[in-house]
Amino acid sequence: MDSITHIALGACIGEAFFGKKIGRKAMVWGALAQSVPDIDFISAFWLDPTSSLLAHRGFTHSFLFGLLMAAFLALVAEKWHRPHNISFQRWMWFFNTEILIHLLLDGMNNYGVGWFEPFSHARVSLNAIYVADPFLSVWTGIACVVLAILRHGHPGRTFWKWFGLLPTFLYFGYCIFNKTVIENAVVEGARADRIPFRKSLTTPTPLNNWLWYVILENDSGYRIGYRSVFDKDPRLGLNFYPRNEHLLKAVKEQKDVSDLIRFSQGFYTVEQWGDTLVFNDLRFGQIIGWHDPKERFAFHYFITFPDQNTMVVQRGRFAKWNSETVRSLVRRMKGI
């Protein structure tokens, strides 16, 4: 998830655990604990782009790192607040809860999280929530601001604490429900369209959980399109995109290419743009694909000119958004 959501959610959880004991400091500890796994952002300062892709949400998002960091933070907090009546076990529960929730939320996106590092490099991507979903974040954002203003001991703090937490977790459950609806619809739609496939991926489109991006993979490439949770027509109406694996023949042993293949979890195509060989990670969708199915993919890496890849994951994500494309997104959300 985005950093603001982690901070606000962490602050509300901190209030729930220790607000009555240590006041607003509980919110600070919560925001800090929720932010700790994202310390891996500093790797971008010395790693090349593809190595940085794999480092981000790697070891610092593993269960092992979470346990070690929770123990460290518990030791620091227990000593910092002496004298107090909070047990070390209670501190451990708090920090483990904060960090585990961070890891779980990030695992719900399409980037991939190294939960089992360093024992396994496999990445978990449950693809149930877009990385920045305002319908998930708004509750904790409002609650965090109000709690930061209200004085310690104010009777309204209990209400605002739960105002931030309950709708957030209810919406989280709703997103899981939508994921199930879409997965079932895709299987039925593929059967109706007589589309054979060996692997599929469904993930929400930007800023919502109602319109989903769909990929069906076969031996030669992918069928890609969009499905709303409100669609009535069982047909999927997907477009075919060839993998073009042969274009990688001369460069497949390059480190950046092997990194990209590993990072993409097998969902990629290769294109030739003039004199430039381009690698597309399909998981991140098209720039405005619901409006124009011929649009470029948001994640595209220039293999021929690696120095031009200072930004890769969300390259041009919102470049073509305007009133027309937003209206088109809303219309497609409503279903067909």
DSSP string, 122-155: --B----S-SS-HHHHHHHHHHHHHHHHSPTT-T
Q: Which one, of 182, 216, 220, lies nearest residue 196 by Cα? A: 216
pLDDT at residue 307 in the model: 83
pLDDT band at 315 (very low <50, low <70, confident <90, very high): confident
Q: β-strands 211-217, 268-273: how paired?
A: unpaired
pLDDT at residue 308 in the model: 82
Which amino acid is residue 164, in one-letter code?
Answer: G
- Give SS3 for 240: strand
pLDDT at 311 over 70: no
Which amino acid is residue 82, in one-letter code?
Answer: R
DSSP state of 3: H
Written as six digits, the tokens of 42 are 């500093």
Task: Compute the average pLDDT of residues 273-297.
Answer: 94
Q: What is the pTM of this model?
A: 0.93
C-beta of residue 335 within 8 angstroms of C-beta of residue 232: yes
pLDDT at 312 over 70: no
In which residue are the tokens 């209990």 written?
158
| pLDDT digits 0-9 by tens, 25-57 | 999 999 999 999 999 999 888 898 899 999 999
Mean per-residue pLDDT over the chain, rounded = 94
pLDDT at residue 163 in the model: 98
What whole-number distance in Å separates Cα of residue 306 and Cα of residue 68?
A: 36
pLDDT at 329 over 90: yes
Backbone φ and ψ of 240, nearest 5°: -90, 140
